[in-house]
Amino acid sequence: KAIAANPQAVADYRGGKETAIRFLVGQVMKETKGRANPGLVNQLLIEKLKL
């Protein structure tokens, strides 16, 4: 959901802007009201975006 809702952040990350992943993690944390594990979210987002 965070990936689909933030195409610019995804493009920035894929373009080499590593800090864009932090924004996406923040969006997931906001969506889950802080219940998600940020380390795991970060890892999952990186794996998804490398495809």
CA Rg value for the chain: 10
- Per-residue pLDDT band for 1 (boundaries 50, 70, 90) equals confident
Q: What is the pLDDT of residue 28?
A: 93
Burial of 22 (0-12, 13-18, 19+ CB in 10 A): middle
> Which of 35, 39, 42 shows the shortest CA–CA distance to 2?
42
Record the pTM: 0.81
Note whether 12 and 24 are within 8 A (CB): no
Class of CATH domain 2-49: mainly alpha
pLDDT digits (tens, 9 = 90+) for 9-33: 999 888 988 889 999 999 999 999 9
